Amino acid sequence: MRRTPKDTEDSHRQIGRRSLFVGGLFVATSAVLSARMRYLQVERAEDFRLLAEENRINIRLLPPARGLIFDRNGVLVAANEQNYRITLVREDAGDIDAVLAQLSQIVALDMVTLERARTEIARRPPFVPVTIADRLSWAELSAVAVNAPALPGITPEVGLSRLYPMGADFSHVVGYVGPVSDYYLEQTGDTDPVLQIPDFQVGRYNIEARMEQLLRGRAGTKRVEVSAGGRVMREIDRDPPDPGADVQLTIDAGLQNYVEARLSGESAGAVVMDCQSGEILALASAPTFDPNLFVRGISSAAWNTLNTDRYRPLANKAIQGLYPPGSTYKMIVALAALEAGVITPEETVNCPGHLDVGDRRFHCWNRGGHGRVNLVESISQSCDVYYYELAQRVGIEAMSAMARRFGCAVRHDLPLSGIAEGLAPGMQWKMQNRGAAWVVGDSLNAAIGQGFVLASPLHLAVMTARLASGLDITPAIIRSIDGISQLPGRARDMGLDPGHLRLVQRGMWQVNNDRRGTAYSSRVDVADYAIAGKTGTSQVRNITAAERASGVISNADLPWERRDHALYVGYAPYDNPRYACSVIVEHGGGGSTMAAPIGRDILLRAQLGEVPPPDLYPASQRRDIERMHRDLPILPTPPVPTGRTVRSQA
In 3D, which of 418, 376, 400, 256 has the Cα closest to residue 325? 400
Own/partner pairs, 496-500, CB within 8 angstroms, 24+ separation: 496/335, 496/339, 496/470, 497/338, 497/339, 498/470, 499/345, 500/335, 500/338, 500/339
CA distances from 69 to 174, 562, 609 (A): 8, 40, 22
- Rg over CA atoms, the chain: 36
Widest distance between CA atoms in the chain: 148
Residue 42 and residue 429: Cα distance in Å, rounded? 84
CA distances from 84 to 140, 355, 433 (A): 9, 71, 56
H or E element in which residue 100 lies: helix 96-104
Degrees, nearest 5: CA angle 462-465-466 = 85
Residue 43: CB atoms within 10 Å: 9
In 3D, which of 489, 479, 469, 320 has the Cα closest to residue 406? 469
Can you tell me whether residue 553 is helix, strand or coil?
coil
Asked whether 583 and 598 are in contact (CB, 8 A), the reply is yes
DSSP 280-329: EEEEEEES---GGGGTS---HHHHHHHHH-TT-TTS-TTTT--B--GGGG
Residues with Cβ within 8 Å of 407's Cβ and at least 6 positions away in sequence, in order, are 459, 462, 463, 466, 475
SS3 track for 108-162: CCCHHHHHHHHHHHHHCCCCCCEEEEEEECHHHHHHHHHCHHHCCCEEEEEEEEE
Residue 580 and residue 569: Cα distance in Å, rounded? 8
Degrees, nearest 5: CA angle 158-161-165 = 130
H or E element in which residue 567 lies: strand 565-572
Residue 567 and residue 514: Cα distance in Å, rounded? 19
Q: Catalogue the active-site residues.
A: 327
CA distances from 466 to 495, 501, 579 (A): 11, 10, 11
Asked whether 538 and 564 are in contact (CB, 8 A), the reply is yes
Residues with Cβ within 8 Å of 472's Cβ and at least 6 positions away in sequence, in order, are 466, 491, 492, 493, 494
Provide the CB-side half-sphere exposure for 307 (13 A, CA). 7
Residue 624 identity: D
In 3D, which of 195, 219, 215, 199 has the Cα closest to residue 61? 219
Beta-bridge mates of residue 451: none
Residue 352 and residue 347: Cα distance in Å, rounded? 17
